Amino acid sequence: MKGNILILIFFSVIVFISPFSYGYDSLDPFGNITITWDFLSDNGDTVDVKVSLYNLQLFRHVEEPGWRLSWDWKSDEVIWAMLGAEATEQGDCAKFKGQQKPHCCEKEPVIIDLMPGAPYNMQSANCCKGGVLTSMTQDVTRYGATFQMNYKKASHHDAGSNFSMPENFTLGIPGYSCGTAFQVPPTKFTKDGHRWQQVLETWNVTCIYSQFLASPAPKCCVSLSAFYNNTIVPCPTCSCKCQGLPGANCVSSDKTSVLQLPQTNDTEPSQPVIRCSRHMCPIRVHWHVKQSYKEYWRVKITITNLNFVKNYSQWNLVVLHPNLRSVTQVFSFNYQPLQVYGNFNDIGMFWGVQYYNDMLLEHGNNGNVQTEVLLHKDHGEFTFKDGWTFPRKISFNGDECVMPSPDTYPKLPNTAHTAITTSPILFISMLMLTIFI
């Protein structure tokens, strides 16, 4: 009996997470992090290059502890000097005589960003952000990072190319995988806006994110309620983990005073310490249909942090709902529509107001942020029936949240019977989609 229940839970978890198992996010289908490798000058036996990372994702960002860029040299290249970043290990440079040793002799160097405020003589333009990259939407000044290096050329490299590009790039951030480098038109730059110069050669590497690669378990869930029904539909049980199963550690709220927080580790993101719940997610998003006016309706969105050891800085929430094209007012959050598919305008991004609520604090009395959104009732489309006012999809910091199943949505009291005839069919067809896509 117990085994059967476990199998059932396992199966339903598989069904829930299967939409996440692709390196493709329908809310940001082209999003990627691009590494650009510019050959600046050929000095005979060494070359100077400029390496840039650009976070070309609409909303997903790179948070602390930041990127750790790595690659495989094809031959015996060594890095002599680096500005704006550094290799974590110097490696074995014994074959270099004399006092001046290379910066890094590793075959697979791991490069980390410098902290803001690094000594001036170690900096390069657009460097030193502690590995953090914001999304393109949230802060256009901090979505890229650049460092420069001088390295010894390979003693032998492929005929037909002037330079030899390393292989097997990785970003050192869970969930990202990078393709092979490909040559692109040389980067052009200008100092005065009149004359354009260009680098010798430019190569790009594209890295894409897969939520399933990052973590097979979701990290957030959605609960729902509406003014016309006093049922609060909770996050589905076992949305993120199942309480009691191995690896599902949690703390009940009354134990927090004696909680021993684990040692933080600079190189590893800290393990979540979450509050015990039936859903076991570190983040819960609650969507409350709050009020109906003649021409407008109002939604209250609350994001609650259930992780005792993490403050989410620069958090963001992306919502898919057809009525977002008629957003009239958003209170206490920043809002921007994301035009992913032409002019559909049904995807919107919310994020915090600087110095007010751009940091979602660790679990506790202040561990939540909330907004109210006023939307116009578009004639011919708006309805309170069949759960139309609830979101189609929500993601927090770029990870899709688990939604309750549509047959549990709060129902309008007087249309209960019509809803019953339509929603099971809707639910079954959505389930089939989930299985067969």
Ligand X SMILES: *[C@@H]1O[C@H](CO)[C@@H](O)[C@H](O)[C@H]1NC(C)=O
Contact residues toward ligand X (CB under 6 A) are: 30-32, 34, 36, 54, 56, 72, 74, 160-162, 167-168, 184, 201, 204, 206, 229, 231, 263, 265, 267-268, 309-311, 361-362, 408-411, 413, 416
Amino acid letter, 42: D
Shortest approach of ligand X to residue 161 CB, angstroms? 5
Between 17 and 281, name the residue whose CB sits nearer to ligand X: 281
Shortest approach of ligand X to residue 373 CB, angstroms? 22
H helix and E strand count, the chain = 3, 28
Between 76 and 378, name the residue whose CB sits nearer to ligand X: 76
Between 139 and 362, name the residue whose CB sits nearer to ligand X: 362
CB 208 within 8 A of CB 177: yes
Rounded CA separation 377/62 (Å): 37
Rounded CA separation 223/287 (Å): 6
Shortest approach of ligand X to residue 141 CB, angstroms? 16
Q: Token pair for residue 83?
A: 């500005």
CB 172 within 8 A of CB 184: no
- Beta-carbon count within 10 A of 228 CB: 14
Shortest approach of ligand X to residue 229 CB, angstroms? 4
Between 287 and 409, name the residue whose CB sits nearer to ligand X: 409
Shortest approach of ligand X to residue 413 CB, angstroms? 4
DSSP 62-127: B-TT--EEEEE-SSS-EEEEEESEEES-----TTS-SS---SB--SS-EEEEPPTT--GGG--TT-
Shortest approach of ligand X to residue 326 CB, angstroms? 26
User: In Å, how far are 224, 235, 321, 347 from 229, measured between CA atoms?
Assistant: 11, 17, 21, 27
Taking every pair of Cα atoms in the chain, the longest distance, rounded to a whole number of angstroms, is 87
Between 187 and 323, name the residue whose CB sits nearer to ligand X: 187
Shortest approach of ligand X to residue 254 CB, angstroms? 20
Shortest approach of ligand X to residue 406 CB, angstroms? 10
Between 74 and 278, name the residue whose CB sits nearer to ligand X: 74
Shortest approach of ligand X to residue 425 CB, angstroms? 16
Rounded CA separation 87/101 (Å): 14
Amino acid letter, 65: P
Between 36 and 148, name the residue whose CB sits nearer to ligand X: 36
Rounded CA separation 36/204 (Å): 5
Q: Residue 365 gets which letter from DSSP?
A: T
CB 130 within 8 A of CB 115: yes
Q: 3-class SS at 177?
A: strand
Between 246 and 413, name the residue whose CB sits nearer to ligand X: 413
Q: Kindly report the backbone phi and psi dihedral angles of residue 419, in degrees, each rounded to the nearest multiple of 5, phi listed first.
A: -65, -40
CB 347 within 8 A of CB 320: yes
Between 311 and 418, name the residue whose CB sits nearer to ligand X: 311
257 CB-near residues (< 8 Å, 6+ apart): none
